[in-house]
Amino acid sequence: MASEAEQLKRARDEFVAQWGAMGSQWGINRTMAQIHALLMTSPEPIGTDEVMAELEISRGNAHTNLKELVTWGLVRVVVKKGERREFFEAEKDVWQIFTIVTRERKKREIDPALSVLNRCAEGTKALKSPEGQAFHSQMRQLEEFVGFASKVADRVGSMKHGFAIQMAAKLLG
């Protein structure tokens, strides 16, 4: 029978692999998501060398993705007394992770889409042809919907965890 350490390693490896696969679904690359999962499940902050060894990736790949995770706010740099190298720890609060990812996806995906829809609607509002009017109408409808989604994302992202759960329970109940 496998030791507890072996069982934990297998479970952690499985989680890291799956979190990496899910990463592309929420707007980040597989390696970035795997690094996040590794840090999220690490009891102590870890350095770039440990990330490289655990995930079998290059220093450049580890460094680039760690810096991006820090930029997103999902990972913090930790300074250890007497150490020259940087260590990293992930945000572990699930609600915080959700709100950070929601905010970043909105900034990278929803806001640019809203800008395009607005420009397309504004640029076609004077068109008189049936095709031009139909296009303009479609852009306005999409702009209204994406704008609504943006406001929902803002509102949910600013809620406290308990209140958001209560609201969701009411909606789904």
| Cα 66 to Cα 74: distance, rounded to the nearest angstrom | 10
Quote the pLDDT of residue 162. Answer: 75
Q: How far apart are CA 115 and CA 61, in angstroms?
A: 32
For the entire predicted model, the pTM comes to 0.77
What the block records as the tokens of 27 is 């707007």
Domain 4-90: CATH architecture, name and number where available: Orthogonal Bundle (1.10)
Cα distance between residue 69 and residue 170, in whole Å: 34
Per domain, the residue ranges of the chain are 4-90, 94-172
d(CA 89, CA 40): 7
The pLDDT value recorded for residue 44 is 94
pLDDT in tens, the chain (173 residues): 779 999 999 999 999 999 998 887 777 899 999 999 999 999 999 999 999 999 999 999 999 999 999 999 999 999 989 988 999 999 998 888 888 888 888 888 899 999 999 999 999 999 999 999 999 999 999 999 999 988 888 887 787 777 777 777 777 77
- Number of C-alpha atoms within 13 angstroms, CB side, residue 61? 14
Candidates 75, 82, 77, 72; CA nearest to 35 is 75
Sequence-distant (≥ 6) Cβ neighbours of residue 62 within 8 angstroms: 35, 48, 51, 52, 55
Is the Cβ–Cβ distance between 48 and 63 less than 8 Å?
yes
Q: DSSP secondary structure string, 78-133?
A: E--TT--S-EEEE---HHHHHHHHHHHHIIIIIHHHHHHHHHHHHHHTT--SHHHH
Return the amino acid letter for 57. Answer: I
Question: What three-state secondary structure class fits 56?
Answer: coil
